[in-house]
Amino acid sequence: METRYFEYGDEELAYLKAKDKRLAEVIERIGPIKREVHVDVFESLIDSIVSQQISGKAAQTVWGRMVEGLGAITPEGIASASIEELQKFGMTFSKARYIRNAGEKVAAGALDLEALHTKSDEEVCRDLCALDGIGVWTAEMLMIFSLQRKDVLSFGDLGIQKGMRMVHHHRRIPRDLFEKYRRRYSPYNSIASLYFWEVAGGAIESMKDYAPKAKKKQAKGIAKTQ
């Protein structure tokens, strides 16, 4: 299968650079970013549930077992598997239940994933969050990395928060400040997100995180005199 990447170009980058001097410097230093996307929305949905709260390596292992065991990740295949069968691939009972529930709803037509392509971001988030085990952050990641929506900036993403602090020299990013940046980067928040993730991951070694360092707890008790 051909590898697909999030699509953007000079127009989006020129817009962001004109809106934000510091982000412009980051874009110039890092250059174009290639982030892989998964155009099969159902596979991406199931993968997002599998990946919750485990390492990337562990998620790949579970995913590989599922593909080998089921042959393909389809709504019908997931819906026909029992929770116990899904658990045997290496996931918790809760994840198996969430995955089976998603398969049943999509297979029965209760959730039309193809229709998401024509809905607004707010409608997509509402429809996806109606599924058990799917929250706002997961819905936002699906909008970026499966539906390729260009105007998504996730307040709940720790990498985004860290990247923002590093680029703009903030100690913390409260909601009102976050919304100021969201308005500034719209309608290309997703492209800005790619650069914040890169910065948070150490793409520019000279940049530091300005978040306050956690204070070390003082040991309880009275020190003995010698």
Beta strand ranges found along the chain (DSSP E): 4-5, 36-37
Tell me: pLDDT of 78 over 50. Answer: yes
Cis before residue 187, ω within 30 degrees of 0?
yes
| Size (the chain), residues | 226
pTM: 0.88
List the structure tokens of 17: 């650079």
What's the average model confidence in pLDDT over 150-174?
97
130 and 76 housed in the same domain: yes
Whether residue 47 sits in one domain with residue 137: yes
Range of the domain at 155: 4-34+151-200
Write the single-letter amino acid at 164.
M
**137 and 65 both lie in a single domain:** yes
pLDDT at 2: 75
Alpha-carbon gap, residue 210 to 111, rounded angstroms? 43
Q: Is the pLDDT of residue 150 over 70?
A: yes
Which domain CATH number covers 156?
1.10.1670.40
Q: Which two tokens stand for residue 70?
A: 């089921």
pLDDT at 56: 84
77 burial (CB, 10 Å; 0-12 / 13-18 / 19+) is middle
Map tokens 């970026």 to a residue.
144
Residue 23 CB coordination number (10 Å): 24
Supply angle C-alpha 159, 165, 166, rounded to 5.
90
Looking at per-residue pLDDT, the higher value among 33 and 214 belongs to 33
Give strand ranges (E) for 36-169.
36-37
The per-residue pLDDT for range 18-52, each reduced to its tens digit, is 999 999 999 999 999 999 999 999 999 999 999 88
Q: Based on the domain organization, do 122 and 163 belong to the same domain?
A: no
User: Using one digit for the tens of pLDDT, what is the confidence trace for 93-143?
Assistant: 999 999 999 999 999 999 999 999 999 999 999 999 999 999 999 999 999
Residues linked to residue 36 through DSSP beta bridges, in sequence order: 5
CATH number, residue 81: 1.10.340.30
Q: Quote the pLDDT of residue 1.
A: 59
65 and 102, same structural domain? yes
Q: How many helical (H) and strand (E) elements, i.e. helices and strands, does the chain have?
A: 12, 2
Q: Is residue 103 domain-shared with residue 17, that is, in the same domain?
A: no
Task: Indicate whether 59 and 122 sit together in one domain.
Answer: yes
Tell me the average pLDDT across 154-176: 96
CB 181, CB 153: distance < 8 Å: yes
Report the domain count for the chain. 2
Helix (H, G, I), strand (E, B) or coil at 152: coil
140's enclosing H/E stretch is helix 136-145
